[in-house]
Structures are given as structure tokens and as C-alpha cells.
């Protein structure tokens, strides 16, 4: 069986971090969506891997969660190395 592409795994780690940060802040999909100007279904679809966020959407989500996207990407890359 072929191993998943490492870049895909890093991307999935980023999405997992978005969800974990949102939940840690006690934010609903609706609250985050309102804060960043996206729709609730868009946030849900991104978190459930039904839709890939654009770079702009990823920056908006990270900012809405009080983080820099670059910090989230670095953390996702470190998770991949383990």
C-alpha cells in the first residue's frame, strides 16, 4: 500500500489544528464564520475534509483563531516529522 504524500499529511495536520484551536476556544462554526466573513458550512466542510481552503481562507481562519498561519504550518510540519 502506498504511503500518503507527506504534504497531504501536513495539510491535514493544519486542518486538524484549526479544529482543535476552535474547540479549545469554545467557538462554534457559526461564531468563527461570522468573525472571519465565511459561511458556517464552509468552515464545517473544511474541517471535515470535504473542501480544501484557499490560502486566503486559511489565513482568515488562523487569524480568526488568534494565530498566525505560519505558526500553524510550522507546528503541522513538526507533527509530520514525528
pLDDT at 5: 82
| Per-residue pLDDT, 66 | 97
Mean pLDDT, consecutive 10-residue segments, the chain of 82 residues?
74 96 98 98 96 97 98 92 68
Residue with cell string 473544511: 46
Q: What is the pLDDT of residue 1?
A: 47
H helix runs in 1-82, sequence order: 6-24, 29-36, 40-47, 55-64, 69-81
pLDDT for residue 73: 96
* pLDDT score for 79: 87
Amino acid at each position: 500500500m502506498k504511503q500518503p504524500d507527506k504534504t497531504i499529511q501536513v495539510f491535514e495536520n493544519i486542518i486538524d489544528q484549526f479544529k482543535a484551536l476552535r474547540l479549545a476556544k469554545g467557538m462554534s462554526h457559526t461564531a468563527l464564520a461570522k468573525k472571519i466573513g465565511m459561511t458556517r458550512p464552509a468552515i464545517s466542510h473544511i474541517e471535515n475534509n470535504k473542501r480544501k481552503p484557499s490560502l486566503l481562507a486559511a489565513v482568515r481562519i488562523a487569524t480568526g483563531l488568534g494565530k498566525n498561519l505560519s505558526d500553524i504550518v510550522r507546528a503541522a510540519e513538526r507533527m509530520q516529522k514525528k
